[in-house]
Structure 1
Amino acid sequence: MAWEIVAIWAIVVATLVWFRRDEDRERSKALAEQARYFATAPRYRHRHIPRSEPLAETPPQAMVHRRYLDLLKSSGPAPSAARPG
């Protein structure tokens, strides 16, 4: 009687393991087909398209900020405020 229960459980476990492996194999097969399609389809191939218009020039406000920062750099270290003592 005990061996029959063990045999039933062995069959159940073997069936579940077999089912799981088969499902994983099918899923990976479908994923490989999708990957192959996206890797080789002409629609998804990388094509470099050169820009027809030049890059935008630096806005005037950024130029003002750049000149201000350059002025701060060229003036040297800021004088330290005298501490009341």
Structure 2
Amino acid sequence: MAFYQDYLTISFKCEIDGAGKEHFLKGAYRDMQLHEENGQYYIVGHFSREELDYMVQYLITFGKHLTVMEPDFLREAYLAELQEIVDRYAQ
């Protein structure tokens, strides 16, 4: 178990709304937790660099109910994937 925890080196934080909270509760992963701060919900946890693509795909399942707060490179990868989706319809 210690090796697995060492493998998950990147912390992340995403803001979610009520619908995002419901979505998270339907399929949370063990390396992610739901936090509430001043009435606002956040998903926090860890992942490895090798899981970046999977992480982006998972976060996209939240649709408009999620905002990637940190780290910056996760937000950038998330936005790039969304842009690819938009570009498919712009042709």
Report which of the two has the higher share of strand. Answer: 2
TM-score, structure 1 as length reference: 0.24
Determine which structure has greater relative contact order: mean sequence separation of CA pairs < 8 Å that are 6+ residues apart, divided by chain length.
Answer: 2
User: Relative to total residues, which structure has the larger helix share, 1 or 2?
Assistant: 1
